[in-house]
Amino acid sequence: MTGKEFEAIRFTIYGKAAGMGSKTAFVRGNRAIITDANPQARKQWANAVTAAAAEAMNGRKPLVGPVSAEVTFCFCRPKSHYGTGRNSGGLKGSAPMLHSQSPDIDKLLRALFDALTGVCYLDDRLIWKVTAERQWTVNQARTLVSIE
Protein backbone atom coordinates (compact mmCIF):
# COMPACT_ATOMS: atom_id res chain seq x y z
CA MET A 1 0.00 0.00 0.00
CA THR A 2 1.10 3.52 -0.63
CA GLY A 3 0.73 6.31 1.91
CA LYS A 4 -2.00 7.82 -0.29
CA GLU A 5 -4.74 5.65 1.27
CA PHE A 6 -4.02 7.18 4.69
CA GLU A 7 -3.83 10.84 3.71
CA ALA A 8 -6.30 12.98 5.60
CA ILE A 9 -9.19 14.38 3.61
CA ARG A 10 -9.50 18.05 4.57
CA PHE A 11 -12.02 20.54 3.27
CA THR A 12 -14.14 23.54 4.18
CA ILE A 13 -17.86 23.96 3.60
CA TYR A 14 -18.84 27.62 3.34
CA GLY A 15 -22.18 28.81 4.67
CA LYS A 16 -24.16 28.26 7.85
CA ALA A 17 -24.33 24.62 8.91
CA ALA A 18 -27.80 23.11 9.19
CA GLY A 19 -28.54 20.21 11.50
CA MET A 20 -30.87 17.29 10.92
CA GLY A 21 -33.69 19.15 12.57
CA SER A 22 -36.28 17.80 14.88
CA LYS A 23 -38.79 15.35 13.56
CA THR A 24 -42.45 15.55 14.48
CA ALA A 25 -44.70 12.53 14.11
CA PHE A 26 -48.48 12.47 14.16
CA VAL A 27 -51.31 10.25 12.98
CA ARG A 28 -53.80 11.38 10.36
CA GLY A 29 -56.54 8.83 9.87
CA ASN A 30 -54.75 5.50 9.85
CA ARG A 31 -51.42 6.88 8.53
CA ALA A 32 -48.37 7.96 10.48
CA ILE A 33 -46.84 11.19 9.16
CA ILE A 34 -43.35 12.45 10.00
CA THR A 35 -42.32 16.02 9.26
CA ASP A 36 -38.88 17.65 9.35
CA ALA A 37 -38.39 21.02 11.08
CA ASN A 38 -36.27 22.59 8.31
CA PRO A 39 -35.85 20.32 5.28
CA GLN A 40 -34.95 23.05 2.76
CA ALA A 41 -32.02 24.55 4.70
CA ARG A 42 -30.73 21.06 5.54
CA LYS A 43 -30.92 19.96 1.90
CA GLN A 44 -29.06 23.05 0.67
CA TRP A 45 -26.32 22.57 3.25
CA ALA A 46 -26.10 18.82 2.52
CA ASN A 47 -25.57 19.64 -1.17
CA ALA A 48 -22.76 22.05 -0.24
CA VAL A 49 -21.17 19.37 1.99
CA THR A 50 -21.31 16.76 -0.77
CA ALA A 51 -19.81 19.16 -3.34
CA ALA A 52 -16.93 20.24 -1.07
CA ALA A 53 -16.19 16.63 -0.09
CA ALA A 54 -16.26 15.39 -3.69
CA GLU A 55 -13.79 18.10 -4.68
CA ALA A 56 -11.49 17.15 -1.77
CA MET A 57 -11.67 13.47 -2.71
CA ASN A 58 -10.34 14.42 -6.16
CA GLY A 59 -11.58 11.23 -7.80
CA ARG A 60 -10.56 8.88 -4.97
CA LYS A 61 -12.97 6.14 -3.99
CA PRO A 62 -14.76 6.33 -0.62
CA LEU A 63 -12.85 4.89 2.34
CA VAL A 64 -13.90 1.37 3.35
CA GLY A 65 -12.23 1.03 6.77
CA PRO A 66 -12.59 2.77 10.11
CA VAL A 67 -12.24 6.56 9.97
CA SER A 68 -11.91 9.36 12.49
CA ALA A 69 -13.35 12.83 12.01
CA GLU A 70 -12.42 16.27 13.31
CA VAL A 71 -15.08 18.92 12.74
CA THR A 72 -15.28 22.62 13.62
CA PHE A 73 -18.56 24.42 12.99
CA CYS A 74 -17.95 28.19 12.78
CA PHE A 75 -20.96 30.47 13.27
CA CYS A 76 -21.08 34.25 12.84
CA ARG A 77 -21.84 36.14 16.00
CA PRO A 78 -25.25 37.82 16.06
CA LYS A 79 -25.36 41.63 16.13
CA SER A 80 -26.68 41.47 19.70
CA HIS A 81 -23.20 40.34 20.84
CA TYR A 82 -21.69 43.69 19.81
CA GLY A 83 -21.91 47.10 21.42
CA THR A 84 -23.58 50.09 19.81
CA GLY A 85 -22.46 53.62 19.08
CA ARG A 86 -18.83 54.23 19.91
CA ASN A 87 -18.63 50.64 21.28
CA SER A 88 -19.89 49.10 18.03
CA GLY A 89 -16.52 47.53 17.21
CA GLY A 90 -16.26 45.48 20.39
CA LEU A 91 -18.03 42.62 22.04
CA LYS A 92 -20.35 43.27 24.94
CA GLY A 93 -19.18 41.93 28.28
CA SER A 94 -22.25 39.67 28.27
CA ALA A 95 -21.39 38.10 24.90
CA PRO A 96 -20.62 34.38 25.35
CA MET A 97 -17.09 33.28 24.54
CA LEU A 98 -18.14 29.70 23.81
CA HIS A 99 -20.86 28.72 21.34
CA SER A 100 -23.29 26.72 23.48
CA GLN A 101 -26.63 27.37 21.82
CA SER A 102 -28.61 26.08 18.84
CA PRO A 103 -28.09 24.22 16.65
CA ASP A 104 -27.28 21.11 18.68
CA ILE A 105 -23.87 19.69 17.83
CA ASP A 106 -25.23 16.12 17.59
CA LYS A 107 -27.79 17.17 14.96
CA LEU A 108 -25.11 19.06 13.02
CA LEU A 109 -22.88 15.97 13.05
CA ARG A 110 -25.71 13.67 11.94
CA ALA A 111 -26.47 15.90 8.95
CA LEU A 112 -22.78 16.23 8.06
CA PHE A 113 -22.01 12.52 8.34
CA ASP A 114 -25.09 11.54 6.32
CA ALA A 115 -24.04 13.95 3.54
CA LEU A 116 -20.50 12.48 3.48
CA THR A 117 -21.75 8.90 3.15
CA GLY A 118 -20.83 7.50 -0.26
CA VAL A 119 -18.40 10.37 -0.90
CA CYS A 120 -15.69 10.17 1.80
CA TYR A 121 -16.62 6.77 3.23
CA LEU A 122 -19.02 3.99 2.33
CA ASP A 123 -21.15 4.33 5.45
CA ASP A 124 -21.11 6.62 8.49
CA ARG A 125 -21.02 3.59 10.79
CA LEU A 126 -17.29 3.42 9.85
CA ILE A 127 -16.65 6.51 12.00
CA TRP A 128 -15.06 5.28 15.21
CA LYS A 129 -13.85 8.59 16.67
CA VAL A 130 -15.19 12.14 16.50
CA THR A 131 -13.78 15.41 17.75
CA ALA A 132 -16.21 18.28 17.25
CA GLU A 133 -16.74 21.83 18.38
CA ARG A 134 -18.82 24.91 17.64
CA GLN A 135 -17.17 28.29 17.74
CA TRP A 136 -17.84 31.91 16.96
CA THR A 137 -16.26 33.66 14.00
CA VAL A 138 -16.18 37.22 12.75
CA ASN A 139 -15.72 35.96 9.20
CA GLN A 140 -17.98 33.88 7.00
CA ALA A 141 -19.81 30.93 8.57
CA ARG A 142 -18.13 27.68 7.60
CA THR A 143 -17.40 24.11 8.66
CA LEU A 144 -13.89 22.67 8.72
CA VAL A 145 -13.66 18.91 8.24
CA SER A 146 -10.78 16.44 8.46
CA ILE A 147 -11.37 12.72 7.85
CA GLU A 148 -8.61 10.13 8.39
Q: Where are the domains of the chain?
A: 3-147
Q: What is the pLDDT of residue 13?
A: 97
Q: What is the pLDDT of residue 11?
A: 98
Q: What is the pLDDT of residue 65?
A: 92
Say which residues have a Cβ less than 8 Å from residue 41's Cβ, sequence separation at least 6.
18
Q: What is the pLDDT of residue 87?
A: 82
Cα 11 from Cα 112, distance rounded (Å): 13
Q: 61-70, pLDDT tens digit by residue?
A: 999 999 999 9
Of the candidates 45, 58, 81, 71, which has an alpha carbon nearest to the alpha carbon of residue 124?
Answer: 71
Class of domain 3-147: alpha beta
Which residues in the chain come in under a pLDDT of 50?
1-4
